[in-house]
Structure 1
Amino acid sequence: MGIDGVDDPNAWWRCPENFDSPLILFIYWDKENWIFGQRDFYLRCIEEHTNTFIQLEQRFTASGRTRVTVVGPPRVRQWLEDMFRGMSSENLYLHVLGLSMLRHVQEQPLTSADLEDYFRSQS
């Protein structure tokens, strides 16, 4: 086994479908700082905990928003999209849900059981 599972035949980056339709969204600096922390402190942690690659292109637009591109397993991308949208929602329930999702991936890995529970509760 190589460093960090590079030689793992089941690694998420070895599945071409994980690169189809990347999640692309635009967030303002304050939201970026809130999600990823000062100097992107939580970025690597969130990537590791969600088995994704997240690219931030700061001040990508004229309005100064950051372009966020996420590649990884489709269900995880959907989960992250829901997290981002929830955090930006004016609906209190969705906002709190988005914040709890963020705290989860900042502190611990996202598991298959987490995804199952989340998508079951959404249907």
Structure 2
Amino acid sequence: MKKLDKLSIEGKNYKKAIELYTYALNFNENQIAIYTKRGGTFYAMQDFENAILDFSKVIELNPKDISTIYFMRGLSKTLLKNEDKLGGCSDIKKAIELGYNVSDLNGLDEYCNFKK
């Protein structure tokens, strides 16, 4: 998995990383870590629709710490070509409720119209 992570993050060979993550899911489609990494790779590729699908699958599989996943899915929704501000802010609010720290993200409460 470390080699694959290098492909995706350091080498920026996102297309190959997606291919390999997808291949790995053929053997076990309930791998939270693979969906998380593939969702992050889709996000890095600015393929927000597929990032949302993978982050949603992670939430469905119900890992112990999903605040980051809710945040990433929410952020992806706000970056869609046809922005889903309501859905994105709802996910970000859920992330905050679950303990995600957004104190470094200036303007988020203004954008979503809620207090941190």
Compute the TM-score of the two structures, normalised by the length of structure 1. 0.26
Q: Which structure is richer in relative contact order (CA contacts within 8 A, separation 6 or more)?
A: 1
Higher strand proportion, which one? 1
Compute the TM-score of the two structures, normalised by the length of structure 2. 0.27
